[in-house]
Structure 1
Amino acid sequence: MQSKHDHSLFIKEENGKQVIILVYVDDLLITGNDTIMIQEAKITLHKAFKNKDLGNLKYFLGIEVCRSEKGILLCQRKYALELIAELGLSGAKPAITPMEKNKRLTTIEYDEHCHLDDDPTLTDMRGYQRLVGKLLYLTLTRPDIAYVVQTLSQLMQAPKQSHLEAIYRVVRYVKNEPGLGILIMNAVGDMTLNAYCDADWANVLTLGSSHWIPGEVWWITDILEV
């Protein structure tokens, strides 16, 4: 059965057993909770298409998969190191936070309203957009940079020098621990959910509204609802 939420995702269920196939161009990921069903799916696909079984998943679309006794770690170390090198930051000092304390990223309209002219507009808008896109992809395994990257993505239509500097700050922060990722732990007992929220008290200078951070709950529910 094809998923209604992701048309490249296919699911087969029988008596509580399940096999899931994810398709991306000419690559396939196969998983499930029953080894026999997984093997049957491989045989069926092999009969229909010429393919090669690469074994347990280790790397897929820039995401590294590492297994241990604790669970499965998803990270983008290679992807992060390539981005660091692309920006010429291999020898730069790492940052301890993804964004400067009390840093305010303003729009051109706000600067004009306040008669500020010390933050020029970038001439290479597409270059800025491309870098934001790369950081957005990195947030798949780095939720710690999600807030600042989401803020930078709202400024893609008229980026300024300060916005580009903020991107470099994020990458220098990633350089601190490029192999940091998400650990999907083995199921042990009951799951304890810890949640928090915060607000910046109308610190969005152009909208007069607050940002709040709901954590990873929505992200998890989107994944589970296939």
Structure 2
Amino acid sequence: MSFKKSKNDYALFTWNNGASFISLIIYRDDILITGNDERAIVALKEHLNKSFHIKDLGTPKFFLGIDIARSPTSISLSQRKYALELIFDFGLSTCKPSVVPIEQNIEVTIIEHETERQSPEEDPPLQDHTSYQRLVGHLIYLTMTQSDISYAVQILNQFMQAPKQSHMDAAIKVVKYLKGCPGVGLLLPQKGKMEISAYCDSDWGSCPMTRRSLTGFCIKLGSSLISWKAKKQATVSLSSTEAEYRVMANTTCEII
């Protein structure tokens, strides 16, 4: 049917015919279809039904852990149910919420624990690595709609192989932060300028162990946030200017 596969996400297919547009994304045996041409969408579903039996579940309200809420003027995406289940699973339903997901100097503190080789009594290694890995895995999935925890999660993700108690405490603090705002997500307005704008910044040599800089960017379509990232750069930058150029290059690649 002349659909084109996205180069950014191989599960996404798009179709254009003049002013008509259809977007189709696949996850295993689940399919989401959206577009601005109702007749073309009906024809697509009839074509799919001829190839294999499909069940039309109507307007989506929940998909892969993401709550989808609609209003006449916008669509809201959040992972409230997923976040609440995470809070319950780790026994933090009655805890006091944290105001911030991570302390300002937590990265330096955690890495100093590593370099100073503290005794096991001061910062014991976790006996069960899987609990920490499972928690961080859940938090990584939550960054799909909660960009405000991206920085904290990229720090915690660096200690998946040999986590210590300080790493687990920092991860629990992120969960406590989620308890105060489990429904925070993305708001996609129906109307607005279809213009892409991007913001980027770098933190030069922020990692005390590797001296690699941190890349951070966010990209908006109109007033809708559509892409963001907080990640250590692949190589060491010799100056703050070089670090800034690297993050600008990464942001440009993401826009393209």
TM-score bracket, normalised by the shorter chain, equals 0.7 to 0.9
1:145 aligns to 2:145 (yes or no): no
Q: What TM-score comes out, normalization by structure 2 length?
A: 0.77
- Give the equivalent residue in structure 2 for 1:179: 183
- Give the equivalent residue in structure 2 for 1:88: 91
The answer as to whether partners of 2:66 and 2:78 remain within 8 angstroms in 1 is: yes
Displacement of 1:202 in angstroms is: 3.8
Q: Over the residues paired in the alignment, what is the CA RMSD in angstroms?
A: 2.5
In the TM superposition, 1:7-156 aligns within 5 A as 7-104=10-107, 105-107=109-111, 111=113, 113-117=115-119, 118-156=122-160
The answer as to whether partners of 1:106 and 1:205 remain within 8 angstroms in 2 is: no
The one-letter code sitting in structure 2 at the alignment partner of 1:163 is H
Q: How many residues align?
A: 222
Q: Identity, % of aligned pairs? A: 41
> In 1, distance between residues paired with 2:46 and 2:195?
36
The one-letter code sitting in structure 2 at the alignment partner of 1:169 is K
Larger % of strand: which? 2
Q: What TM-score comes out, normalization by structure 1 length?
A: 0.87
Gaps of 5+ in 2: 221-225, 229-250
The answer as to whether partners of 1:65 and 1:74 remain within 8 angstroms in 2 is: yes
The one-letter code sitting in structure 1 at the alignment partner of 2:181 is E
In the TM superposition, 1:168-207 aligns within 5 A as 168-189=172-193, 193=197, 195=199, 197=201, 199=203, 202-207=205-210
Gaps of 5+ in 1: none
| Bigger mean CA offset, 76-85 vs 19-28 | 19-28
- Provide, for residues 192-219 of structure 1, a one-character-per-residue CA deviation record: whole Å limited to 9, x for no partner: 84736363x5442212344343234692
| Bigger mean CA offset, 111-120 vs 24-33 | 111-120
SS in 2 for 1:64: strand
Structure possessing the higher relative contact order (Cα contacts under 8 Å, 6 or more residues apart):
1
The one-letter code sitting in structure 1 at the alignment partner of 2:38 is T
The one-letter code sitting in structure 2 at the alignment partner of 1:116 is Q
Cα 1:191–1:19 change in 2 (3 A) is: closer
